[in-house]
Amino acid sequence: MPKNNRLVPFRCMPGSWGLTGNIYKEAEASYYYDGEELERKLVEIRYADNQKLLQEQMFDLDVKYGRLSAYDRDINLLVTSLPEGLERELAKLDVDFNHGKIDNNSFEKQSATLRQEPWIGIIDQGFDQSQGIDGVFFEMDWNSYWIEFLHLHGYVGHTEEQIVEQWFTDVCKSSTDNDANVSVRRDHGMF
């Protein structure tokens, strides 16, 4: 907010005499403004030669004064600093993950998909005691590049689920056929 009660211009104040450059500009801004407006003027003066740092500092002030969330600040920094494309999209995923907008599986899947790499992950697993010995279950998620990868290795089916199920069955069979590949680990009393 401007200090409206300034009847004497800053240049006429003895304290301004002899000041030059940014020191003069900062003293003048302090004479005429206070609060948020002063902070913004000081940032403009200090970072006039560095547009990137100027934007970062202004976004920080927006967060400080409740105009932006920290998440929106980070997204705005991406948009202003990186050109459209893979690098920006991957950086946005990092921001989404770091701010808790997506979980680890979503982060890994979207990252692999953007890179056009096959990905599969177990998103849930457990044991339903009411099902008896058949109560062990795995819930999986995958991207389209995983299905293409399986197609290239001879797996076919009418649905993606059938293709993944065939692959998983083969993995389980190969594990039990070759005892050297089977690994059982006990943590905290559970197998």
* Interatomic CA distance for residues 34 and 37, integer angstroms: 6
pTM of the model: 0.73
Report the SS3 class of residue 110: helix
Mean pLDDT of the chain: 89
Q: What is the pLDDT of residue 176?
A: 66
* Interatomic CA distance for residues 174 and 41, integer angstroms: 68
Which range, of 41-45, 106-110, 132-136, averages the lowest pLDDT?
Answer: 132-136
* Interatomic CA distance for residues 39 and 45, integer angstroms: 10
Q: Measure the CA angle with vertex 34, ends 29 and 35; round to 5°.
A: 130
Do β-strands 120-127 and 136-142 pair in parallel, antiparallel, or remain unpaired? Answer: antiparallel
- HSE at residue 76, side-chain half, CA atoms within 13 A, is 16
* Interatomic CA distance for residues 50 and 119, integer angstroms: 41
Q: pLDDT band for position 5 (50/70/90)?
A: low
